C-alpha cells in the first residue's frame, strides 16, 4: 500500500494486517468541535442535511417519552397537545409549562388529530415534533481535527441507534474531532441517539457520507492513519499504532467491518480478553479503544 505523502516519516511499525507502515508523528492536540449546532436560530456554516430521510422530523409521543426529550434537550419544533380539558391533568399541564419555558410552540388540537398521527395509539394527549438534525460534511470533521493529534470515528453501518448514541457520547468525552457514518443502512441521529449520547450529538460534527471507502481516502489525504477494530486482527490494541492522527473504524453489530473497508485500512487491532463471552458490543469496544488513544495522546502531551 502506497504511503500518503501528507504523513510524516517515523519508525516502522507493523499493523494487524501484516503490512509495513510508518508511525504517525503527533505534534499538537486536536481541536474538539464544541459548537452547539442546535442553538435556536443558529445554522452553522458548511452544514448540510444528510440522506433522503433527514428532512423529515421525528415524532415523539407519550408523556414519559416527551419528558425524557425535554431532559435530553432535544431540539423541538412544536408540541401538539389535546385541546379537550377532559383529557388534561396536572401532569400534562406541567409538561406544557416546561415546553413553554423552553420557548417550544404549543398547539392545542383535537384528539382525533393525535390519534391519526400516533404510531401505536398511546400518545396520552401529547406529541412532540423534533427538529431535523443538521449533519456536517466530511470537510467539517477534517477542519475540526486541526493539524496534530486527532481522533475520528468511522462507523461501518452501525444500525442500532442506542449504540450509535453511546459511541457519539464517548467520542465527545475523549475529544474526538467527529464521527463519520454512511447515509444509508446506518443509524441516524434520532430520539434514541439524543438520549444515549446525553446530548453529545449537539457538540461535535457528525458527517453522513455516500461512500465510506472514499471517505477513508479523504481522511488519509488529511494525514490520518486508519485502523479497523476487528476480532480477526493479529495484534491487540496495546501493540497497535493507535496514536497521533487516527481514524478508528468500528463495524456493524452483526458482521463487523466489511471486507471492502478492511482493505482500505492501514492496520487492524482487537481488544484482549480472558472471559468466556464472545466479545463486547460495538459501543463498549469503541469506548475502550478511544480511551487507549486518549491515554497515548495525554502521555505525548506530558512529554512535551
pLDDT at 35 over 50: no
Q: State the DSSP code for 78.
A: E
Contact 283, 167 (CB under 8 A): yes
Residue recorded with cell 461501518: 156
* Mean local confidence (pLDDT), 29-52: 37
All three cell numbers of 45, joined, read 456554516
Quote the pLDDT of residue 226: 98
pLDDT at 24 over 70: no
The pairing of beta strand 178-182 with beta strand 76-82 = unpaired
Quote the pLDDT of residue 50: 37
CATH number of 12-38+134-303, picked from 1.20.1070.10, 3.40.1280.10, 3.40.47.10, 1.10.3720.10: 3.40.1280.10
Closest CA to 165 of 288, 282, 9, 25: 282
The pairing of beta strand 126-130 with beta strand 76-82 = antiparallel
d(CA 280, CA 284): 6
Average pLDDT, the chain: 82
Quote the pLDDT of residue 165: 94
**In the chain, which residues fall in CATH 3.40.1280.10?**
12-38+134-303
* Mean local confidence (pLDDT), 44-57: 38
Torsion angle (degrees, nearest 10) of CA 78, 84, 89, 93: 30
pLDDT at 127 over 50: yes
pTM reported for the whole predicted model: 0.74
Q: Cα(first)–Cα(last) distance of the chain, in Å? A: 32
Sheet holding 150-156, edge to edge: 206-209, 178-182, 150-156, 245-251, 225-229, 267-269
Return the number of other C-beta atoms located less than 10 Å from residue 160's C-beta: 18
The pairing of beta strand 106-109 with beta strand 59-61 = unpaired
* Mean local confidence (pLDDT), 36-46: 35
pLDDT tens track for 102-118: 999 999 999 999 999 88
pLDDT tens track for 284-297: 999 999 999 999 99
Q: Which CATH superfamily is domain 59-130 in?
A: Ribosomal protein L30/S12 (3.30.1330.30)
Contact 15, 227 (CB under 8 A): yes
- Helix boundaries (H) for the chain: 63-71, 90-101, 111-117, 138-144, 161-174, 191-196, 212-221, 259-264, 282-303
pLDDT tens track for 238-257: 999 999 999 999 999 888 99
Quote the pLDDT of residue 304: 64
All three cell numbers of 85, joined, read 380539558
* Mean local confidence (pLDDT), 267-274: 93
Does an H or E element contain 82, and which?
strand 76-82
**In the chain, which residues fall in CATH 3.30.1330.30?**
59-130
Amino acid at each position: 500500500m502506497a504511503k500518503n505523502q501528507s504523513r510524516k516519516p517515523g519508525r516502522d511499525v507493523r499493523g494487524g494486517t501484516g503490512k509495513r507502515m510508518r508511525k504517525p508523528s503527533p505534534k499538537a492536540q486536536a481541536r474538539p468541535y464544541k459548537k452547539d449546532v442546535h442553538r435556536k436560530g443558529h445554522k452553522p456554516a458548511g452544514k448540510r442535511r444528510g440522506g433522503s430521510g433527514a428532512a423529515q422530523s421525528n415524532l415523539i409521543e407519550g408523556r414519559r417519552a416527551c419528558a425524557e426529550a425535554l431532559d435530553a434537550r432535544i431540539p423541538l419544533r412544536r408540541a401538539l397537545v389535546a385541546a379537550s380539558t377532559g383529557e388534561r391533568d396536572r401532569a400534562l399541564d406541567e409538561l406544557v409549562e416546561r415546553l413553554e419555558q423552553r420557548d417550544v410552540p404549543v398547539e392545542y388540537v383535537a384528539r382525533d388529530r393525535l390519534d391519526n398521527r400516533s404510531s401505536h395509539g398511546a400518545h396520552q394527549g401529547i406529541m412532540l415534533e423534533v427538529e431535523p438534525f443538521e449533519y456536517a460534511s466530511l470537510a467539517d470533521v477534517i477542519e475540526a481535527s486541526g493539524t496534530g493529534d486527532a481522533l475520528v470515528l468511522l462507523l461501518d453501518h452501525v444500525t442500532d441507534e442506542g449504540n450509535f448514541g453511546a459511541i457519539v457520547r464517548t467520542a465527545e468525552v475523549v475529544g474526538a474531532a467527529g464521527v463519520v457514518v454512511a447515509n444509508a443502512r446506518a443509524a441516524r441521529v434520532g430520539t434514541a441517539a439524543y438520549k444515549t449520547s446525553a446530548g453529545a450529538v449537539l457538540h461535535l460534527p457528525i458527517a453522513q457520507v455516500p461512500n465510506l471507502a472514499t471517505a477513508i481516502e479523504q481522511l488519509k489525504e488529511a494525514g490520518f492513519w486508519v485502523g479497523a477494530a476487528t476480532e480477526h486482527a493479529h495484534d491487540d490494541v496495546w501493540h497497535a499504532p493507535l496514536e497521533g492522527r487516527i481514524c478508528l473504524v468500528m463495524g456493524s453489530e452483526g458482521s463487523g467491518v466489511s471486507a471492502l473497508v478492511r482493505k482500505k485500512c492501514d492496520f487492524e487491532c482487537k481488544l484482549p480478553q480472558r472471559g468466556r463471552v464472545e466479545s463486547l458490543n460495538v459501543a463498549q469496544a469503541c469506548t475502550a479503544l478511544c480511551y487507549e488513544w486518549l491515554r497515548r495522546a495525554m502521555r505525548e502531551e506530558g512529554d512535551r
